[in-house]
Amino acid sequence: MGGEGGPQFNEVPIGEYAGLGGRALTSAIVSKEVPATCHALGSENKLVIAPGMLSGTIAAIDSTGMCLFIAFAILDQPETFQALVDIIGAYTGTDFTADGITELGKKVLTMEPDFNARAGFTKAHDRLPDYFKTEALPPHNVTFGVTDEELDKVFDW
C-alpha cells in the first residue's frame, strides 16, 4: 500500500489466512481488503506478493504451483491426488481431505468473479472476442463451439 508515506510491508495474519498461499492467498486478501471500485493506481489498492508453494481440484492444484509437475501423474495414477492432498496437509498443518481440497479450489474460483462483480464487471465483460466463434482455426478449421450460456454455468457447482 502506497500513499504519502511510501510503500508499507505487512505480514499476513496467520489465523485469518491459514492454509492459503499463492493464488488463493492473494485472491483472499484482495477480495477482503481492496475496495472493488478503487483505481488501479490509487492509494487504496494493494500489491500482494505471495511466495510459497500453496494456496487455495484444478484451482487447488494450479494454486500450489504443482500443476505443471503433477497433472499428468494424477491422470495416469489417480492415487497421486491423495499424495498431493497429503503434501498440502503436511505443509499447512491441516488435515485436508480430497473433498476439502476441492472445496478450497471452489472458494478460490468464487472469490475472483465476486470481486469483479463488485468492481462493476458483468457477464458481458467476461466474453471471448467474436472472432473465436467466427474464424476457423487451422489445421482442423474449427471455431470455438462453447456458447456464452454454457460458459455462464462453469461455476454453477
What is the model's pLDDT at position 63?
Answer: 64
pTM, to two decimals: 0.51
Give me the residues paired with residue 40 across strands. Answer: none
Sorted by where each begins, the domain ranges of the chain are 22-126
| HSE-up (13 A, CA, CB side) for residue 96 | 30
Backbone angles phi, psi at 137, to 5 degrees: -100, 120
Instruction: Find the radius of gyration of the CA atoms of the chain.
Output: 19
Per-residue pLDDT tens, the chain, 157 aa: give them: 444 556 677 777 777 777 666 667 778 888 888 898 888 777 888 877 655 433 335 666 666 666 667 767 777 787 888 888 888 788 778 888 888 877 877 887 888 888 888 989 888 888 888 888 888 888 888 888 888 888 888 778 7
What is the model's pLDDT at position 31?
Answer: 86
What is the model's pLDDT at position 64?
Answer: 67
Give me the residues paired with residue 142 across strands. Answer: 137
